[in-house]
């Protein structure tokens, strides 16, 4: 598997080893919370699809706005306006969406799957994706797409944490500070293995603490302050904005977009005591689902999401970073995002190792935290 390390969009963030993925949400789509039963049967393996004017997207949360003002909202609405194809949208945690697609493998419902590493690699390994290189994918950095064309990043982003700026004006600087008793019952991170950003907590801790054992030892101690599991990272931001939580995990794109309507959110990046703040790229990666019931419509949507028009909206509307290296935003959000990333060291996870050993890492986390 390739290692998704987003290529920086201009104005580029200071770190030289990764890129960011923009994430916001878009309106004009139908959000489905129940199982989809009206999508029709699976098409042939080629996924040409039916003539029905619909496309179904299964996606990790973060790109759709709470008030219909996100990147998905804008892009899906424009897509429907230009093509007449209705977008049906189903949202959940990164791992949750892959698990759902896997359960439906013999009766495919989704046309497009959008999720974060390492779950996009997991979906590919399970045979859930078919090869399709969207128009514009040649402008995406090689590390941000699959060599065999089964997936490509559509929005670049970075992992991060948030704090309540009203009750905690100065963000914590280190992981170790989070062990303080003042965070007991007011700190929460989404569940590793279920949410992409939750899995990212484990990945970053393993990097920052120098390996699995010291990372798990720390996360085991941190569990005394942790509220408990959460299947969705996006649900933690409102709690943090209201002051129910002082600190939570998240990602730059999603939290930056949320901060426009949640004024108490501040973004920060933990460091080891005596070290520098770190992060890594977590792109939203999209692929055409194998045996997609509306495969041709799925191809059209992937082309549209990677088009220059949609990519220019990534920072301006979504608060993220374009996946295309030739789209270089200069809007106010892009400038602020560059400032936010200044001085943060960006490392590149070994995604192939994480893909191979994810179950073992998650089992270690469960054992350490007794989750």
Predicted pLDDT at 2: 37
pLDDT at 25 over 70: no
* Strands 284-289 vs 112-115: parallel, antiparallel or unpaired: antiparallel
Predicted pLDDT at 180: 98
Is the pLDDT higher at 143 or at 295? 295
Half-sphere CA count of 356, side-chain side, radius 13 A: 7
Q: At what angle do helices 295-305 and 71-83 cross, to 10 degrees?
A: 120
Task: Report d(CA 117, CA 331) in Å as an integer.
Answer: 28
Q: Give the Å distances, CA to CA, from 19 to 6, 9, 141, 206, 283.
A: 3, 8, 10, 20, 8
Judge whether 155 and 63 are in contact, CB under 8 Å: yes
Predicted pLDDT at 253: 92
Predicted pLDDT at 35: 35
CB atoms within 10 A of CB 278: 18
Looking at the chain, the whole-number percentage of residues with pLDDT higher than 70 is 87
Average pLDDT over residues 308-312: 96
CB atoms within 10 A of CB 163: 22
Average pLDDT over residues 131-147: 95
Average pLDDT over residues 312-321: 94
Over residues 77-119, the pLDDT tens digits come to 999 999 999 999 999 989 999 999 999 999 999 999 999 999 9
Numbers of helices and strands, H then E, in the chain: 11, 14
User: How much is the mean pLDDT over the chain?
Assistant: 88
pLDDT at 26 over 90: no
Predicted pLDDT at 50: 61
Task: Report d(CA 233, CA 47) in Å as an integer.
Answer: 32
Predicted pLDDT at 137: 98
Average pLDDT over residues 153-169: 97
Q: For 249, list phi and psi in degrees, rounded to 5.
A: -90, 170
Res. 67 pLDDT band, cuts 50 70 90: confident
pLDDT at 146 over 60: yes
pTM score: 0.78
Over residues 194-236, the pLDDT tens digits come to 999 999 999 999 999 999 999 999 999 999 999 999 998 999 9
Predicted pLDDT at 352: 87
What's the DSSP call for residue 90? Answer: E
Over residues 40-51, the pLDDT tens digits come to 333 334 444 467
Q: How many residues does the chain have?
A: 371
Judge whether 271 and 278 are in contact, CB under 8 Å: yes
Task: Report d(CA 350, CA 106) in Å as an integer.
Answer: 32
Res. 143 pLDDT band, cuts 50 70 90: confident
Predicted pLDDT at 178: 98
């Amino acid at each position: 598997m390739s290692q998704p390390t987003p290529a920086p969009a201009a104005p580029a963030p200071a770190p030289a080893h990764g890129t960011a993925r923009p994430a916001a949400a878009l309106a004009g789509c139908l959000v489905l919370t129940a199982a989809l039963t009206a999508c029709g049967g699976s098409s042939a393996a080629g996924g040409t699809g039916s003539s029905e004017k619909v496309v179904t997207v299964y996606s990790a949360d973060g790109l759709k706005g709470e008030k219909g003002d996100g990147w998905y909202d804008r892009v899906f609405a424009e897509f429907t306006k230009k093509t007449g194809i209705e977008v049906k949208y189903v949202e959940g945690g990164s791992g949750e969406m892959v698990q759902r697609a896997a359960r439906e493998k013999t009766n495919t419902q989704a046309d497009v799957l959008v999720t974060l590493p390492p779950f996009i690699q997991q979906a590919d390994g399970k045979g859930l994706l078919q090869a399709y290189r969207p128009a514009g994918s040649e402008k995406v950095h090689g590390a941000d797409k699959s060599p065999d064309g089964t997936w490509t990043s559509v929005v670049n982003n970075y992992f991060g944490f948030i704090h309540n700026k009203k009750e905690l004006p100065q963000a914590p600087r280190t992981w170790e500070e989070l062990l303080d008793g003042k965070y007991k019952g007011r700190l929460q991170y989404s569940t590793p293995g279920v949410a992409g950003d939750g899995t990212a907590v484990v990945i970053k801790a393993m990097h920052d603490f120098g390996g699995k054992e010291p990372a798990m030892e720390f996360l085991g101690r941190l569990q005394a302050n942790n509220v408990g599991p959460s299947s969705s990272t996006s649900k933690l931001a409102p709690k943090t904005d209201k002051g129910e939580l002082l600190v939570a995990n998240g990602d730059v794109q999603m939290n930056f977009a949320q901060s426009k309507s949640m004024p108490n959110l501040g973004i920060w990046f933990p460091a080891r005591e005596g070290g520098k703040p770190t992060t890594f790229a977590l792109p939203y990666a999209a692929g055409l689902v194998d045996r997609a019931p509306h495969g041709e419509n799925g191809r059209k949507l992937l082309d549209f999401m990677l088009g220059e028009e949609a990519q220019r909206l990534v920072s301006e509307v979504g608060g993220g970073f374009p996946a295309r290296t030739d789209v270089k935003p200069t809007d106010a959000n892009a400038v602020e995002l560059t400032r936010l990333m200044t001085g943060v060291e960006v490392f590149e996870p070994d995604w192939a190792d994480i893909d191979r050993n994810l179950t073992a890492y998650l089992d270690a986390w469960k054992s350490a935290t007794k989750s």
